[in-house]
Amino acid sequence: MALSPTNDAALLQEVDEAVRKDRFDSIWQRFGLWIVGGVVAALLAFGGYLYWGHMQDSKRGENAEALLGAFDKFKAAQPTAGTAELAKIEAEGGPAYRAAAQFQQANLKAERGDMKAAAALMAKVVADTEVDQSLRDLALIRQTAFEFDTLKPEMVIARMKPIVEAKDPASSWFPSAAELSATAHYQLGQYKEAGVLYGRIADTPNIPKSLQSRTVQMAGMLGVDVVKDRAAESVAKEQKGSAAPTAAATGPAEEKK
């Protein structure tokens, strides 16, 4: 007796399922341990990543507490204990906290008149590729300031050039770098270059008033009238702002005529 089409379809489906099961059993027998091992390895790696992140957060918290503790010891007139805390952070802390400890140590050395040691600490930060570039730029400025009296003006200008000529001239460190460079130009008798830099510093927004006043005076002494330029810009802005409303107001009156 021949099978109906319906029975043929059911038989083919059963055969197909049997073949698939047989293939699955064969694959599992051959690669089952590898599959389980891969899943376990992935879970262990993910767990390790989470643990590493937790440890990093804990370490940062410890570094922050240690740095604050060092500052507190200096405030409490305990310089020896504070210096020991900074040295520990420098040796064991993460990049940012290590740099912060070196900055503070350099400041202490400079206060005692040991500019050479202060500059050496800043040179460490400059050479530390794990530290953010912004902090390394600041360290270079501080190093150059500590060494300024012993450096040739050309060296000062060369060091500050990348910061002074950065695409963002209003960056945080531009005024400090530009003032060092302008002073070096002045020492070389390059008064035009010095005046231009002093003028750029004076035009930089949100700088300390003392720095702005100083650079305005230096720029003026070198023939760059920053105050006059600012007054002219202010008048131009006022004229530009008042021109449009005047034209708009007179337009309808002319149409009525």
Note the pLDDT tens digit of each residue in 5-22.
555 555 555 555 655 556
Q: Has residue 45 been placed in a domain?
A: no
Residues 180 and 234 in one domain: yes
Cβ atoms of residues 89 and 70 within 8 Å: yes
222 and 192 in contact (C-beta within 8 Å)?
A: yes
d(CA 31, CA 16): 22
DSSP secondary-structure letter at 224? -
Same domain, 175 and 138: no
**What pLDDT, in 10s, does the model give residues 104-161?**
889 888 988 999 999 999 999 999 999 989 899 999 999 999 999 999 999 999 999 9
Residue 8 lies in a domain: no
- Final residue of a structural domain among 150, 174, 195: 150
Rg over alpha carbons for the chain, rounded to the nearest Å, is 35
What is the domain count for the chain?
Answer: 2
Taking residues 184-194, report their average pLDDT.
96
Q: Which of 150, 167, 191 is the last residue of a domain?
A: 150
Q: Residue 186: inside a domain, yes or no? A: yes
| pTM tops 0.75 | no
| Domain stops at, among 95, 120, 150 | 150
The better pLDDT of the pair 109, 51 is held by: 109
Question: What pLDDT is attached to residue 49?
Answer: 45
Residue 89 domain-assigned? yes
Q: Which domain holds residue 117?
A: 70-150
* In a shared domain, residues 120 and 156: no
